[in-house]
């Protein structure tokens, strides 16, 4: 006999404004405690010192997390010129210094080199696995680590303002896998100096926007009346770019049991099978036949 799951069967997405000083996993734990959801997960880690948009999936929405992780992301960040740190952010130890401070013209002229396809070496203090172990754990142990270079896409890199002689602010729109800490580090090297991040805020992840994100404190306050809570987004929020295919109740029952169904005149590809307004499954259509890939238990 299957053991009954603890918590409530809540399915959907929350757009949380992550506070500084809290890990993404800790935010998930807080959301799960507040909502009493059976299951929860986040779509894209934010460093503890960073703030901003952290999409949290509840219940069956966790099956759609990969679609948000693959979406474009946007960040606002501030660099602190003249200091390299071992973590490439404000929380690390200073390893190198420079008296060079770039001016506005120099900053603007260097931006195009960091737009489009860019080769990037992730920070040593990252969650990337090296020989099965997290890089940051190896770094803390004093291991000599060679991080693998990767190709990322910077869709837009904008200079915002010189805040003072040591600080400048930027905005970037980028692909998954981009480390803003590494971008700031490499950009400074191009300008003949060193830098680390002194501030990082994520402003957009796919359909999740900064202006609609809510704090944990606000979530706890509003969740006191779950029936009136309007910030729980539907499970299908993550599937906006996937075509929806309508199926009947009888077909939905077959799909939920792992069986394929006929959907004539449907274009091949990945779809979301819907019965009325209820998502049934992420599915694959081939030659008019719909094959379930991830079934939603709703």
Q: Report the 10 Å Cβ neighbour count for 26.
A: 14
Outline which parts of the chain fall under CATH 3.30.2350.10: 12-71+207-236, 73-205
The fold adopted by the segment(s) 73-205 is: Pseudouridine synthase (3.30.2350)
The fold adopted by the segment(s) 12-71+207-236 is: Pseudouridine synthase (3.30.2350)
Tell me the pLDDT tens digit for each residue of 18-46: 999 999 999 999 999 999 999 999 998 99
Is residue 227 scored above 90 in pLDDT? Answer: no
Residues 6+ apart with CB under 8 A from 18: 24, 27, 46, 50, 51, 52, 53, 54, 202
Tell me the pLDDT tens digit for each residue of 90-118: 999 999 999 999 999 999 999 999 999 99
Given this model, what pLDDT does residue 27 score? Answer: 98
Distance, CA of 208 to CA of 17 (rounded, Å): 10
Given this model, what pLDDT does residue 5 score? Answer: 72
Distance, CA of 164 to CA of 38 (rounded, Å): 48
Q: Nearest 5°: phi and psi at 265?
A: 65, 30
Outline which parts of the chain fall under CATH 2.30.130.60: 242-295
Distance, CA of 183 to CA of 163 (rounded, Å): 19
- Asked if 217 is an active-site residue, the reply is no
8 A C-beta contact, residue 172 and residue 75: yes
pTM recorded for the entire structure: 0.91
Given this model, what pLDDT does residue 3 score? Answer: 58
Beta-strand pair 269-275/278-286: antiparallel
15 half-sphere exposure, CB direction, 13 A CA radius = 22
8 A C-beta contact, residue 56 and residue 81: no
Tell me the pLDDT tens digit for each residue of 244-290: 999 999 999 999 999 999 999 888 999 999 999 999 999 999 999 99
pLDDT bucket at 1, cuts 50 / 70 / 90: very low
Catalytic position from the list 17, 47, 71, 186: 47
More confident residue, 130 or 158: 158
Given this model, what pLDDT does residue 4 score? Answer: 61
Domain 242-295 top-level CATH class: mainly beta
Q: What angle do CA 201, 205, 210 make, to 5 degrees?
A: 55
More confident residue, 259 or 146: 259
Question: pLDDT > 90: what percent of the chain?
Answer: 81
Nearest-CA neighbor of 256 among 236, 238, 282?
A: 282
């Amino acid at each position: 006999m299957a053991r009954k799951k603890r918590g409530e069967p809540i399915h959907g997405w929350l757009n949380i404004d992550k506070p500084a000083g809290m890990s993404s996993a800790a935010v998930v734990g807080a959301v799960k405690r507040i909502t009493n959801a059976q299951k929860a997960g986040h779509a894209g880690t934010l460093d503890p010192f960073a703030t901003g948009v952290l999409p949290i999936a509840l219940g069956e929405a966790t099956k759609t997390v990969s679609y948000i992780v693959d979406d474009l992301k946007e960040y606002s960040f501030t660099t602190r010129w003249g200091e390299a740190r071992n973590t490439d952010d404000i929380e690390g130890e200073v390893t190198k210094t420079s008296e060079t401070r770039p001016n506005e013209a120099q900053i603007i002229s260097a931006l195009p080199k960091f737009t489009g396809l860019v080769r990037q070496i992730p920070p040593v203090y990252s969650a990337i696995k090296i020989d099965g172990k997290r890089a940051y754990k190896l770094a803390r142990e004093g291991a000599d680590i060679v991080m693998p270079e990767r190709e990322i896409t910077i869709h837009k890199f904008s200079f915002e303002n010189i805040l003072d002689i040591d600080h400048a602010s930027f905005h970037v729109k980028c692909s998954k896998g981009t480390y803003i800490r590494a971008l700031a580090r490499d950009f400074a090297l191009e300008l003949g100096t060193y830098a680390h991040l002194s501030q990082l805020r994520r402003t957009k992840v796919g359909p999740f926007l900064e202006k609609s994100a809510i704090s944990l404190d606000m979530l706890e306050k509003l969740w006191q009346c779950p029936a009136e809570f309007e910030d729980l987004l539907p499970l299908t929020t993550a599937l906006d770019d996937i075509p929806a295919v309508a199926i009947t109740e009888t077909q939905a029952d077959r799909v939920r049991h792992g069986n394929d169904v006929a959907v004539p005149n449907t274009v091949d590809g990945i779809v979301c099978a819907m019965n009325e307004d209820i998502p049934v499954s992420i599915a694959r259509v081939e030659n008019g036949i719909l094959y379930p890939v991830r079934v939603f238990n709703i």
